[in-house]
Amino acid sequence: GIQVEQSPPDLILQEGANSTLRCNFSDSVNNLQWFHQNPWGQLINLFYIPSGTKQNGRLSATTVATERYSLLYISSSQTTDSGVYFCGPMDSNYQLIWGAGTKLIIKP
Amino acid sequence: GAGVSQSPSNKVTEKGKDVELRCDPISGHTALYWYRQSLGQGLEFLIYFQGNSAPDKSGLPSDRFSAERTGGSVSTLTIQRTQQEDSAVYLCASSLTQAQPQHFGDGTRLSIL
């Protein structure tokens, strides 16, 4: 099956900093989602991005399917950005294959 | 509804008891998914429904776990003879079709004493 690797596993930043989170996957995928799980456990859908670049406020994502990776950019970090960021490529059966996540802590 | 609704939000029960977890998906979403997340871990796929049928039950950890979906809407995940290792957050997601983005409920936190 598809293997998903997210990096870095942990990231601690000061408020206002920018960050790049990476998701590598081992095989071709039908699609890919990025999620944010906040400290209360809620999973929020950030992007649905099979290829190309999308932006939503301070967040943007880029997927290069041919090279089997996706990047999530967070600019001007805020403490509310803290939590775990998961990427989930979809396999040939449209099942989400979950990475282990990047735990992000934004310090005030 | 406006979002995926799960109930109860918390459930504490004794080992050996049966539990039922409920998921009410977003109206019109044909695909429904159940996942499990243990403390500090990623998500573990359990089962997927397309309409009322479950083409993929591969993630159910044992025969103590079962799920059904009726009317193409509400789904119930049942765990019989609960064990302590069943303690986790059980998350439900729905999507318009299988290929569309998944939207998650807030989960049910299950604690087995």
- Asked if A100 contacts A6 with a C-beta cutoff of 8 angstroms, the reply is yes
pLDDT number for residue B1: 53
Tell me the pLDDT tens digit for each residue of A34-69.
Answer: 999 998 889 999 999 999 999 999 999 999 999 999
Tell me the pLDDT tens digit for each residue of B90-108.
Answer: 999 999 998 889 999 999 9
**Which of A31, A98, A101 is facing B99, going by the closest CB pair?**
A31
A90 contacts on B by Cβ (under 8 Å): 99
B34 at A interface, C-beta within 8 A: no
Q: Any idea what DSSP says for residue A80?
A: G
Tell me the pLDDT tens digit for each residue of B10-45.
Answer: 999 999 999 999 999 999 999 999 999 998 788 899
Chain B residue nearest residue A38, CA to CA:
B106
Ordered domains of chain A (ranges, CATH): 4-107 (2.60.40.10)
C-alpha distance from residue B93 to each of A12, A35, A52, B97 (Å): 29, 12, 25, 12
pLDDT number for residue B2: 81
The backbone torsions φ and ψ at residue A48, rounded to the nearest 5 degrees and listed phi first, read -120, 105
Interface contact A94-B56, CB threshold 8 A: no
Can you name the CATH fold of B5-112? Immunoglobulin-like (2.60.40)
> Within 13 A of A99's CA, how many CA atoms are on the CB side?
29
- Asked if A4 contacts A102 with a C-beta cutoff of 8 angstroms, the reply is no
